[in-house]
Amino acid sequence: MSTQQPDDDDVYTHGHHESVVRAHASRTAENSAAFVIPHLTPGVSVLDVGCGPGSITCDFAGLVAPGKVTGLDRSPDIIAQATALAAERGAANAEFLAGNIYDLDFEDETFDVVHAHQVLQHLTDPVEALREMRRVAKPGGIVAVRDADFHGMSWYPAIPELDEWMDLYQRIARRNGAEPDAGRRLVSWVQSAGFSDVAPTSSNWLYATGQQRRWQARVWGERVLHSAFAEQALEYGFANPADLARISAGWHRWGSTDDGWFLIPNGEVIARA
């Protein structure tokens, strides 16, 4: 694979269906990047790679002002949404650009903090992406990454359709050349990218109240039917419409339980440049 533009060939398993973007927009620095917050002090410069709709990025902007925060995503439509969010929130020190994680359009040693949340799991070459993130980090600066670990997820009660969902997600992601169990591999990838000062942590997302269960069930119940996940499942011949309908119904059945539990573990790494 060329190291110049592999991003053009990478397939994003989730896509940008409204249900996906809505879920990503619920993420905040507090619930999704708490391990980075101690490093975000006024005046620090930040690059948020794979920023999505910009909710975490705008939180960063508030923490480092008057420092500048740059959000980067490969989708111009998502960049437009993030730009609108920054305007709505008055985050004048945040800017959003379309770009390629493998070929960042910045000089060497530009940023104090380079951050990527739930990005490496979708890449065909996460180590090369980390090398590029390291290139644009200042000496003594940090590269901070966080990714879920799909096979580490656990749920209750046992619902066969959720087992089907996990198997299908694994097959689709791996067909795309990605690594859905990224969380457990972050230390290895960061070391392979040339970092020696590596601080690993982990944290969870938990859906175990009625409101949380209903939210998670709506998100995945819809994504299974309508997002790029559904399109790829059908295109690759891994599922048919009846399969997807059954899995979606299983998500809603789980969401209607009174005692349901869904745990998503995330690996985290702070790597010093």
Gap between the terminal Cα atoms of the chain = 25
Which residues does 162 contact at the CB level (< 8 Å), separation at least 6? 155, 247, 250, 251, 254
Q: Give the residue-averaged pLDDT of 92-112.
A: 97
| 144 phi and psi angles, rounded to 5 deg | -120, 125
d(CA 78, CA 61): 18
Distance of CA 132 to the CA centre of its chain: 18
Position 27 confidence tier, pLDDT thresholds 50, 70, 90: confident
Q: Give the residue-averaged pLDDT of 103-116.
A: 97
| 72 phi and psi angles, rounded to 5 deg | -130, 135
- If one counts every other C-beta atom within 10 angstroms of the C-beta of residue 260, the result is 22
Domain positions in the chain are: 18-272
Per-residue pLDDT, 184: 98
Residue 183 DSSP class: G
d(CA 33, CA 51): 12
Q: Tell whether the model's pLDDT for residue 13 goes beyond 90.
A: no
Under CATH, which architecture does the 18-272 domain have? 3-Layer(aba) Sandwich (3.40)
Per-residue pLDDT, 36: 98
Q: Rounded to two decimals, what is the model's pTM?
A: 0.91
d(CA 108, CA 270): 19
**Inter-residue contact 143 to 45 (CB < 8 Å):** no
- The per-residue pLDDT of the chain, averaged, comes to 92
pLDDT digits (tens, 9 = 90+) for 216-252: 999 999 999 999 999 999 999 999 999 999 999 999 9
Q: Give the residue-averaged pLDDT of 98-102.
A: 96
pLDDT digits (tens, 9 = 90+) for 144-172: 999 999 999 999 999 999 999 999 999 99
41 vs 19, higher pLDDT:
41
Per-residue pLDDT, 6: 47
Per-residue pLDDT, 26: 79
> What interhelical angle do 210-226 and 241-255 show, nearest 10?
170
Position 8 confidence tier, pLDDT thresholds 50, 70, 90: low
Per-residue pLDDT, 273: 81
**Inter-residue contact 97 to 72 (CB < 8 Å):** yes
